Each structure stands twice: as structure tokens, then as C-alpha cells.
A and B are shown apart, each in its own frame.
Chain A
Amino acid sequence: MTLAEPSLAAVLIVLSELPGVGPATLLECRSHPDPAALLGRVVSGRAHREAILEPAVSAFTRRNKAAGRSADPSEVAAGWARLAIALDPAEELARHRADGRSVHVLGEPGYPERLTEDPVPPALVFSEGDLSVLAGPTVAIVGTRNATRAGRDLAASLGAGLGRVGISVVSGLALGIDGAAHQGLVDAELPASGGRPIGVIASGLDIAYPSRHQRLHRDVVRTGVLLSETPLGLRPTAWRFPARNRIIAGLADAVVVVESRATGGSILTAGEAVARNVPVLAVPGHPTAPASAGTNDLIADGAILARDIEDVLVAVGRGGALDVVGGPVGEGEGDGLRPPDGPDEAAVLAVLGVDALVLDEVLARAGLSLADGSLALAGLEAKGLLERRGAWFERTTREARPGRTTRRSGR
């Protein structure tokens, strides 16, 4: 350790890099009268004898044991010591402040206002992009990774629509709904007065996870802000996702769950929102649709029905869609798509609702032979009216119920 007393931020960064130290432990370290002394105990290999750190050591020891590795607290503490000695706090702080990134410590200037009152505020937040975005109105859009085409389309249209009325969109940059919401917003290419993407991720800011979202990751940094409480270079371990979800809930004026299975991660986000008195909205689905089982449950439990963007705007006190920028709120339905050709294509399109179907289901429901059905599917795919994903055919709807939004938004 360097001779100069390291800053609180630097100490907390090193502590947060120790395997097993989560948000709760770090928050306690932050509240400790002398965090630097705590780090000193870690360096001397006695973390397991420190009341604040002991639970984290024990938890990590148990995880090791479950994975069949060494299971002695003193060994874990020794491992922490080796790591802490290797990390220079000042250098770590500098590293996390390089390349346009910032470090924010709870209680110090520059820390996101919205999170200070949080029940479990992150002791440390890393950001990249324009943090001032957090000051404006925000809505979180979350949902399952493995979403239906209709779900992703709705998320994208909500993302863009919220942006047009100047509401920023908070999401987790996961595959499926999360990514679609931000992609929709980014693709709308709104002027500066529009809403912006706020990405909260479970990995370090330098790691785009999933890697398929590398480009979106960059776009969010460019047009909005990316946040994480995970130090640079760390990939997201399983426990970081629920922890990340609480930040999403904490940053939003309302949380919209677009699609979720009965036990999906977005149900946890909704729970975090309820704990923070943040309104929860859920998009309803057909009772038999697995992707809507969770959102239907939420509605049954009292969540606000989110049929379209108007419902969301009303929930955040912005009913009537004022101050539209970059085009009307509901823009983008069915644009540029040619209509179906002939009765077979119409029949196929008619049986393709929100649910994805496999070939045999399409044929059986549309009452077509394989040859006629294949011809119709090929025609619809060429027109961009349907999409084939693996074995599944999905209709490329822009909006489940076109018309309502545009009518009420006073285009």
C-alpha cells in the first residue's frame, strides 16, 4: 500500500474487487468509521476476523465448498490478502476514472441523487456517458431475454415512444426485451431534447455482456449513460443480476414489464420497484402464452395494465403526450410493409398472433397443405411480414393493437 492515505473511493474500489464482497458488505464498509483500516485488516490476511467482512468471507467459503474448492475461512482471507496487496488503491481509482469513466461514492458530490434515498444504495457506482440524464423523467422497460417477436417489437416501440416525449429509458441491456427497448430508442435518433438510454449492467463497464450487444453498449454510452457497481474487468456472476435489478428499480419513475415467465428475473425487478414505491406496469398476454405468465401474474397482483404507451404515460403523470419530439408518439406501425398476397398468405397471417408457431401448427391452423403453406410462408417472409427464428414463425407486428395510440396522441 502506498504511504499516502488512499481516498475513500480508492479503498472501496479495492474492497469491491474482492471475490464475495457484494453491495451489502460494501455499504457497511462505506459506513465504517475507518474504511482504510478495514482494508489494512484485509491486507494482513485477517478479513475473517473482522465483523463487517466476516459474513462475506463465510459466504464465499461456502460457495467454494459447494464448488469443491478449499473451504477454510482463513484460506479465503489469505487469498483476499494476496489480491489486496497486488492492487494499488490509487492506481485502481485512476484506472476506473480513465477513458471517460467516473466513480461515484455514496455521500460524496456527484453521486446520483435518485439513489441516495434507496433502501440499499450502492456504496460505489461507476458510470460512463452523461450522468445528467438521470435528473430527467425515467421509465424502466424490462422483460425476458427469450422474448417473442411481438414482445420485442412492443418494447422497441415503447422505448422510442417514451423518448419522443422526453422520457429516458432505464434497462439492463440484456437480450430480448431490455435490448429491444434501448435499440428502439437509439434507432429513433432523437434530438437532444428527447429521452435517452440509461443502461444498468451487471458486468464491469468495459465488458459488453452479452457480446451480441456490443454495439448497443457503445450507443448507450454515446447517447445516454451506462452504470454499474461492478469494477472493471469483471464478468457478471449470477448474484450480480438481481443486485443490478434493484438499481434499475431505484432509477425509474415507473417500471414496465413487457414479457416475463412466471419466475423470470423481471419479476424480481418488479418486486424491487414495489419495495421502493415505484409504480409497476405489466403488459398483458394470452393466458396460455409462457412469455406472458409473469406479467399476467403481476396484473393479478395489482400491477397497472400497460396496453400501450398511453397507459405508461398516464402512470407517470404524462397522459396526453405533450412535448413530442422527433415525430408522433405512436409512429412506426406497419410502415413500408406490403400487404399479404392472396388468400393463403392472409390465412397464414391470420393464425399467427402473438404466439410463435412451428410449421406444422401453421399448416394445421390455416388448413393448408405443406406446399401451399410453404409458398405462403415464403411470400410473407419475403415481404417482411413474418420472421423465422429457429423452428418458429413469428409475425412481425409493430404494435399489437395499432390505432389507439395515434388516435389519442393527437397527431
Chain B
Amino acid sequence: MLANVPSAIVIGVDGHPVTVEVHVGQGLPGLTIVGLPDASCREARDRVRAAVMASGVKWPNLKITVNLAPSSTRKTGSGLDLAIAVGVLVANEDLAAEAVAGIGFLGELGLDGSVRTVPGIVPLVDALACEHVVVPVAAAPDAALVEGPHVRPVATLREVIAAASGDEPWPDHDLPARAPRTQADLDLADVRGQAAIRTALEVAAAGAHHLLMVGPPGSGKTMLASRLPGILPGLDRTEAMEVSRIHSAAGISLSGDLIRRPPLRAPHHTATMVALVGGGTDAMRPGEVSLAHGGVLFLDELAEFSPTVLDALRQPLEEGVIRVSRARFSARLPARVILVAAMNPCPCGEAGRPGACRCPDGILARYRRRLSGPLLDRFDLRVDVMRPQVEALLGGEAGERSETVAERVARARLAAHARGVRANADLHGPTLDRWAPFDAEAHAHLTDCLRRGRLSARGLARVRRVSLTLADLAGHDGPLTKRFVSTALALRSDVVLGAGVAA
């Protein structure tokens, strides 16, 4: 007898439908799984057998063959357990094929017959084109986020058998309480003084420009970075679904609520390459960069990250996507982030201050070498963050509220949309030249900067983009003036490169 049960696997951030075909027939008793299962998937054999027996059903003493179709894709993980168990029961005629027709099954089996959740419930359910989906109780709230299928939460295999054989109705479980996301976005009003970095954050949000903050320890770089998501536009339904799907694929529970605010991820500098960019196993779990998709990736102490890890960030930052390839398949992990990085200007903490920095030349040179070149070049904004002066902290007027800033940011994004891009950071080459002309005075000033070596040709494009975002924020129309250009230049210091090096 043959049975077909729909299920799914997740690779990267996408679900892929898998049909579990089970044949029970004469031959040497045992269970064989074919169709490119990996080790964790092959272990299903023992889990399924124990779970079936624990559910009070006699295990067929026959030759059982499980084929996972399509056989071209590597099957990984334990999420097919439940589908395999159901397939065996149908093929052995313990359950009627009609009773489970049109139902997809997702979940791992415990040896005691319990049904456990697996990572990636959102993409998994999304991949199943079924009217009903049976999922573990814990995964039900997240599964319900996918529009379409009717979700049936189960706690044990026994419940599935009872319902499918008509002995009992499908169970009605109390679902885990939906914890609505009360992400209290931190307010920019708490940042007193520090006009330059406040503007830099606003510009980064409005133009999706990458931002490097340079300052000594204790200058509040983390506190500043954590306020960036609060001034970014919220995620629309499509973006929210995409971001939620990524988090689900990474095994993070969504508690039944879509992620509607731009995420902030702040991996530690000891994070491995896999933890950061993803991949690793055949499941190709998304890493921190993908988890920050649609939001902010904050790398504190940038100079402490391993050079290999930083190097691996360059391509994703450029293309907004990470491509991971294995022998048989490849995956695309979304990675469109605003990168905010922070670092000390020099090891002694005096920030290279003339007359105060105690760093020997050799140490400074080594410190700068670690970060030189291509990665630093990704930052449109490079701003110095010094310890706020006491008077600014105490007496200084509170900054503008995030809400007010966010309104300007949203307007600037609209201006970018009118140019056919998501944000100004996406403008390049001739398109950038077309949308961001300079007036005569600005042109003269930039020419002077280029001539004096204060600006490089590549830096010019970045200054141009930032100037355009500044103009958008100010509601300015027409050619960019010297006012915007000089502000953009001020927000692009040669902090790390030292004196006399073009920005």
C-alpha cells in the first residue's frame, strides 16, 4: 500500500514543499528513507517508530520505504517526522487515506509520541498548498500568521490518530498567549546636545546610508544606535511578512505577531562568520545580517571583529542579499540593512586628540590598517561621537522627539520613491548625477576640496548622496547648495584615516 503526505522543509529563509511517499510491503522488515535525507532527517526512523508505538499502534513488521520528493533537494532537520509517521500509518492502513487528504503535516516527534515545534514555521506553512495544516501547539500562533490554510494544533501523535480515525474531533488547544510586540522604541529626545550625530542618525534613516560612529568608550554609541529603528518608517505588510519569515526561519518565535517595526540586531564582535552571515549547515540558517533585514545591523567595536568576518560583510552590504551555495543548491538570504558601526578612534581612548593621545605610532598604524579601505568606504556617514559635555547633558535642551524626526524621514523616503528607489543610498552613477545636481557655489567648493585632497572621487559620490538626503529632509528642491554639501562633508570625517587623507 502506498501513501502520500504533504510536508515541507526550510532552506535559508524559504520553505520548500516535500511530498512524503511511504510504501509498506513484503520484504525484510525495516524502515528506509530515500530522497537525499541528511543525518538528522535519517534519524526520523527511530523517532517515528518509537512515537508510533508510544501512541498505542502496532508497528508494522514489514519493509517500509519512505521517499522524500523531490529527491533533488537535500532534506534536513526533523520537521518531516510527523508526516512520515502519518504516511506509515496510512500505508499500513491504520488510517484511511481520505481522512488525511488535503492536510499538511509539520513537526518533530518525541520518542513518547509528543509533537514538537521546529524552526521556520512561517515559511514552512507558507510553502504548503494545503487546506489544513497540522502543526505543534507551540507553533500554532506563528502558523496562523500565514494567510490561507486552516491551522490544527496538536500536542501528540495520538491526538492525530484519534482525530483522523474519527474517534475524536481535532483537539481544541489553548494556544500560548499572543504577546503583542510592545517594542518601546527608544526616543531620540533623550539625546541632548550632539547635533552632528543626531543629524547623522536622521540622515541615515532617511537615505538608508550606512553610518560609522567614532568615539571613545562611554560616549553613548550603543545608546545612539538603538534609537535609529525608532525613526525609520514602519514595515508594510509585505515587508513585515518577509522579516517575520526570516526570524521564523532562524528559529525565533514570533509569539503570533508579525514583526512590524524595523529590527535592530547587535551581534558581539566574537560572533562567528556563520552566526553573522548565515549558512553553515544544509539548512542554511539566516545569520544576524539577515535578521537585521529591513532594519539596523549594529556592530559595536568594529575594529575587534575578525578581518575575515568584516570581509564577508562587503558583498551583502553592496547587494542587499547573501548568496550561499552548496553542491546541490543555493539560497538567497535577504540582507538589506542599514549598517551602523562604532569604534574607538584609537586604543588609548583620547580619540587621537592632538596633544593628548598617547598611542605609539606603530599601534595606531596597525589599528587603522585593520579597517582601512573597502569596508570603510561603505560608510556614507562617518561621524565623531565625543563624550557629551556636562552642560549639554544637564542644561542642554532636550532633542527633538523621535516622532517628529520620523515624519521628516518618511517625507524624505517619499522623495526617494519618486526617483524610483527605496532610499537615496540606492542611487548610483548617472542616476545619482541626474537627481542630485550641484549649484555653481557647491560645485566650486567641491572642486576646491578635490584639488586640496580633502575629498576623493569615490568620496564625492557619497557626499552627493548625503547632500541629497539632507536636501530632502529640509524639503529643498532644485540643485544642491553649498550649505548641504558642507554639512555632508562635516558628516564624513576622515576619523580613522588620520590627517591628510582624502575622505
Contacts and interface: CB of A to CB of B under 8 A. Distances in A.
A375 B389 contact: no
A370 interface: yes
Nearest to A368: B195
Contacts of B214: 391
Contacts of B356: 146, 261, 290-291
Q: Which 8 A-B pairs have the closest CB atoms?
A: A291-B355, A290-B356, A391-B384, A378-B486, A374-B490, A148-B355, A374-B486, A389-B499
A117 B209 CA distance: 66
B176 to A, nearest CB: 47
Given A359-B490, A360-B195, A390 B499 contact: yes
Interface in A334-368: 355-356, 358-361, 363-364
B445 interface: yes
Contacts of B401: none
A363 B196 contact: yes
A355 B391 CA distance: 19
Contact of B495 (A290, A374, A381, A391): A391
Contacts of A261: 355-356, 358
Interface in A374-390: 374-375, 377-378, 381-382, 388-390
Contacts of A259: 355
A147 interface: yes
B458 interface: no
Contacts of A183: none
B110 interface: no
A148 B487 CA distance: 25
B44 to A, nearest CB: 54
A373 B354 CA distance: 21
B361 interface: yes
A100 to B, nearest CB: 29
Contact of B482 (A361, A375, A390): A375
Interface in B191-206: 193-197, 199
Contact of B445 (A289, A356, A359, A382): A382
Contacts of B486: 371, 374-375, 377-378
Contacts of A144: 355
Given A261-B358, A360-B195, A375-B482, A370 B490 contact: yes
A356 B386 contact: no
A392 B354 contact: yes
A290 B493 contact: no
A388 B214 CA distance: 15
A394 B384 contact: no
Interface of B: prevailing SS: loop
Interface string B177-194: 000000000000000011
A291 B359 CA distance: 14
B392 A364 contact: yes
Contacts of B484: 371
Given A378-B482, A388-B494, 15 more contacts: A210-B361, A356-B355, A359-B493, A360-B195, A360-B196, A361-B386, A364-B389, A370-B196, A370-B490, A374-B490, A389-B354, A390-B497, A391-B345, A391-B493, A394-B354
A351 to B, nearest CB: 13
B106 interface: no
A392 to B, nearest CB: 6
B386 A360 contact: yes
B350 interface: yes
Interface in B455-503: 482-484, 486-487, 489-490, 493-499
A260 to B, nearest CB: 9
A262 to B, nearest CB: 11
A147 B199 contact: no
Nearest to B215: A391
A217 interface: no
A371 B474 CA distance: 11
Nearest to B383: A359
B319 interface: no
Contacts of B391: 364
A382 B485 CA distance: 14
Contacts of A359: 196, 383-384, 490, 493
Nearest to B348: A146
Given A359-B196, A389-B499, A375 B354 contact: no
B351 interface: yes
Given A261-B358, A356-B355, A390 B386 contact: no
A38 interface: no
A381 B386 CA distance: 22
A146 B499 contact: no
26 contacts: A146-B355, A148-B354, A149-B354, A261-B358, A290-B350, A356-B355, A358-B386, A360-B193, A364-B195, A364-B389, A364-B391, A369-B195, A370-B196, A370-B490, A371-B483, A373-B490, A374-B483, A375-B482, A378-B445, A378-B486, A388-B493, A389-B354, A389-B498, A390-B496, A391-B214, A391-B351
A175 B361 contact: yes
A196 interface: no
A151 interface: yes
A292 B355 CA distance: 8
Contacts of A375: 482-483, 486-487
Nearest to A394: B354
Contacts of A388: 454, 493-494, 499
B453 to A, nearest CB: 12
Contact of B199 (A146, A175, A364, A370): A370
B357 interface: yes
Interface string A221-254: 0000000000000000000000000000000000
A385 B301 CA distance: 34
Contacts of B196: 359-360, 363, 370
A398 interface: no
A360 B197 contact: yes
A285 B353 CA distance: 16
A182 interface: no
A148 B350 CA distance: 13
B448 interface: yes
B230 interface: no
B287 interface: no
A148 to B, nearest CB: 4
A148 B358 CA distance: 13
A359 B351 CA distance: 13
Nearest to B194: A360
B295 interface: no
B352 interface: yes
A46 interface: no
Contact of A290 (B355, B388, B454, B483): B355
A145 interface: yes
A363 B358 CA distance: 26
Residue among A359, A382, A388, A391 with max Cβ neighbours from chain B (10 Å) = A391
A309 B214 CA distance: 39
Contacts of A369: 195
Residue among B193, B195, B355 with max Cβ neighbours from chain A (10 Å) = B355
Residue among B345, B356, B359, B389 with max Cβ neighbours from chain A (10 Å) = B356
A391 B357 CA distance: 12
A290 B493 CA distance: 23
A313 to B, nearest CB: 26
Nearest to A389: B499
Contacts of B445: 378, 382
Contacts of A364: 193, 195, 389, 391-392
Interface string B385-413: 01011011000000000000000000000
A147 B448 contact: no
Nearest to B197: A360
Nearest to B470: A371
